[in-house]
Amino acid sequence: MLIPLAENLWEVSRPLKAPGLRIDHRMSVVRLSTGELLVHSPVELDGQLDGALASLGPVRHLVAPSTFHDLYWLAWFARYPQATFWGVPGLREAHPELPFHQLLNPDQPTPWEAELPKLLIAGMPKLNEYVFFHSATRSLIVADLVFNFSTDQNLLGKLFLKANACYGKVACSRLFRAFIKDRNAFRQSVEKLMEWDFERIVVGHGKIVPTGGKEVLAEVLLASRRVDNR
């Protein structure tokens, strides 16, 4: 159910309904130094997952890392009323029915900032994606910044992924790049991200990049014209 990636870091992936495309949605779980759990981009909650989390520690923080990661939340609010729910700017406006307690702010540290610093990927106001660095395990946790989809797709899925330049490789999709409104701000965010000493990339969709993640991300995001829509 929960797969350990490293000490105090777990993940679970579930299929995501997308016509013609085999895609999964990954949830990451970090056990903080307090023993409390932070849940990043939750998947659908069920009794088995609830029990697995309980065996690791108390759930105290839940994070929606972008405006597009807006599924499954009502069940989590109902199950963990004692937890703090963190969202990104724009999420409350899009989903007033979801009572997020705190908004992530680049100028305000979270209670867990020292061990799981955050970074806003600027220049994309429709998404406002935040990425996170689990320094203890040198793991970068992202939502949609890059994908790493399997080639195990039907014909329609292959055509869609090839059209978005993210078939069978780590890639920043054309669909994602279409939301970049300020390329200078985006590039500056990526350059700031690259100051982190990460090895693993825990992607929100697709296969985890277990090693060499920093070099892979530099090639994907900082190579000439990679942030253009072309």
What is the extent of the structural domain holding 151?
3-97+117-222
Whether 102 maps to a domain, the answer reads no
Number of structural domains, the chain?
Answer: 1
Residue 112 in any domain: the answer is: no
Could you tell me if residue 208 is inside a domain? yes
Q: Is residue 228 part of a domain?
A: no
Does residue 110 sit within a domain?
no
* pLDDT for the residue numbered 225: 47
Does any domain span residue 61?
yes
Q: What is the pLDDT of residue 120?
A: 98
| Two tokens, residue 184 | 């200078």
Sheet with 84-87, side-by-side order of all strands: 3-6, 9-16, 23-31, 37-40, 59-63, 84-87, 102-103
Tens of pLDDT, residue by residue over 63-94, are: 999 998 888 999 999 999 999 999 999 999 98
pLDDT of residue 229: 43
Residues 6+ apart with CB under 8 A from 157: 20, 21, 22
According to the model, what pLDDT value does residue 18 have? 67
Q: Establish if 180 belongs to a structural domain.
A: yes
What does each of the 230 residues of the chain score in pLDDT, given as a tens digit? 899 999 999 999 998 776 666 778 999 999 999 999 999 999 999 999 999 999 999 999 999 999 988 889 999 999 999 999 999 999 999 899 999 999 999 999 999 999 999 999 999 999 999 999 999 999 999 999 999 987 777 777 777 777 777 777 898 988 889 999 999 999 999 999 999 999 999 999 989 999 999 999 999 998 744 444 43
The C-alpha angle with vertex 218 and arms to 208 and 199, in degrees rounded to 5, equals 45
Residue 77 inside a domain? The answer is: yes
Question: Which CATH number fits the domain that encloses residue 121?
Answer: 3.60.15.10
**This prediction's pTM:** 0.92
Kind plus residue range of the DSSP H or E element containing 157: helix 155-163
